[in-house]
């Protein structure tokens, strides 16, 4: 396991946090720092690669066998979430984990609790990489980057493995929703692709939320409180009123599976003016439309109550459920399931309660399911990575490559029997 651990630790040492408030592409220039290292490593492997002005690194391994083999791609993102610091990451390596709590930071009493995170019990006797409790780890998605690089290196060192064209892409700004904004589909050249950006071992996802963002600007009227009767309109209280009008149990903390939600991600408020920012999510497109219309209707009702210019609402779609684009090419999901089974991994076919670059790429013409990279508790100080899971991700990538080289000689999988969620 040492080579893949060394890769992962090398990549997380570089701060690549993206910035949702930036208007540049990529949103932070420091993402180039990792991309340049990856470019050099790919070149040293003998793989042709390019890095463009927008921060997209693309590479291609030519086919080493004859026949009409479909070009396939593997994609991971290099940026880390703005939700938690990705600077000066100090990883801890726990070999032969024996169970129980893991002390991340004794001085600050930060503990990775087995009671709070019972999934830890699935990784007894394995090697875990954790944070020191002050930053995120960066397994989202540098575990995916490391798995792809490890698999590519293996392919290059073993020419006896027959394969078609293999395409690789490392993208910036996935965490701020702009991961494929300038992605050149024609240049990439893959007919199908897989993002290696999932969580626990076995995850395989080909459906995700439909997503939108909503911004509400609330205009109040500030009057001296001693003389405010029938005159003051308190924008801060109206903001509270709006949130109370949304269904109480349709929030992230009360939902799972295929449940959609409204999520208040930020709010600033004074008597004179308030702003509210929501994300809206639902797997079902019709329910997604209902959610957007509901929030619009609430804003209209507030304007009817307090005056026609009290609330301004803007709703912008972010991405859509890729299932519509992937299902006509369901064999790519079948191949991923077969690859996992061949690598002694139990497939866990689930809907993504989020989005990936693959969702947008699927609508750009590259059907693109999502495969596990191995990490847990992304975007925060309790993030950890079982190393064996990352290794299995690399194994699955290689096996998918060989299955595509075999064409339709493999036995198709009954997805309905494999996945009870669909």
Tokens in use for 140?
């989202």
Strand order in the sheet with 348-349: 48-51, 57-61, 166-171, 72-77, 192-198, 370-372, 203-205, 348-349
- Calculate the alpha carbon distances from 176 to 82, 243, 383 in Å: 8, 24, 19
The catalytic residues are 79, 174
CA distance 256 to 302: 30
CA distance 263 to 261: 6
Burial of residue 227 (CB within 10 Å: 0-12, 13-18, 19+) is exposed
Asked if residue 191 lies in contact with residue 362, where contact means CB atoms within 8 angstroms, the answer is no
Tokens in use for 412?
């198709």
The DSSP 8-state label assigned to residue 319 in this structure reads E
Largest Cα span, the chain: 85
Coil, helix or strand at residue 229: coil
CA distance 401 to 407: 10
Strands 384-386 and 72-77: unpaired
């Amino acid at each position: 396991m040492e080579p893949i651990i060394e890769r992962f630790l090398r990549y997380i040492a570089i701060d690549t946090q993206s910035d949702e408030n930036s208007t540049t592409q990529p949103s932070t220039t420091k993402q180039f720092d990792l991309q340049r290292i990856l470019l050099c490593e790919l070149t040293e492997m003998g793989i042709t690669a390019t890095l463009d002005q927008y921060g997209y690194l693309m590479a291609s391994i030519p086919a080493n066998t004859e026949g009409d083999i479909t070009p396939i791609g593997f994609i991971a993102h290099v940026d880390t979430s703005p939700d938690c610091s990705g600077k000066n990451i100090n990883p801890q390596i726990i070999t032969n984990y024996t169970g129980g709590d893991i002390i991340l930071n004794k001085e600050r009493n930060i503990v990775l609790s087995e009671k709070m995170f019972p999934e830890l019990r699935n990784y007894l006797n394995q090697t875990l990489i954790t944070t020191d409790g002050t930053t995120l780890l960066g397994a989202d998605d540098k575990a995916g980057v490391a798995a792809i690089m490890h698999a590519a290196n293996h392919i290059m060192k073993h020419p006896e493995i027959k394969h078609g064209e293999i395409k690789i892409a490392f993208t910036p700004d996935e965490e701020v929703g702009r991961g494929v904004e300038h992605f050149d589909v024609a240049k990439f050249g893959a007919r199908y692709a897989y993002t290696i950006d999932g969580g626990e071992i076995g995850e395989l996802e080909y459906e995700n939320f439909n997503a939108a963002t909503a911004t509400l600007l609330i205009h109040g009227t500030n009057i001296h409180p001693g003389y405010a009767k029938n005159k003051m309109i308190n924008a801060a209280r109206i903001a509270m009123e709006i949130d109370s009008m949304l269904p109480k149990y349709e929030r992230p903390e009360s939902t799972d599976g295929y449940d959609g939600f409204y999520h208040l991600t930020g709010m600033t408020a004074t008597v004179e003016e308030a702003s509210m920012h929501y994300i809206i999510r639902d797997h079902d497109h019709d329910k997604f439309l209902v959610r957007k219309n509901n929030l619009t209707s609430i804003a209209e009702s507030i304007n009817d109550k307090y005056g026609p210019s009290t609330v301004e609402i803007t709703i912008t779609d972010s991405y859509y459920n890729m299932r519509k684009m992937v299902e006509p090419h369901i064999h790519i999901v079948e191949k991923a399931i077969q690859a996992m089974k061949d690598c002694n991994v139990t497939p866990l076919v689930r809907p993504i309660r989020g989005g990936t670059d693959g969702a947008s790429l699927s609508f750009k013409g590259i059907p693109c399911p999502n495969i596990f990279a191995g990490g847990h508790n992304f975007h925060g100080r309790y993030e950890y990575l079982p190393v064996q899971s990352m290794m299995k991700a690399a194994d699955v990538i290689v096996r998918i490559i060989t299955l595509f080289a075999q064409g339709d000689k493999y036995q198709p999988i009954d997805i309905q029997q494999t996945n009870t969620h669909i």
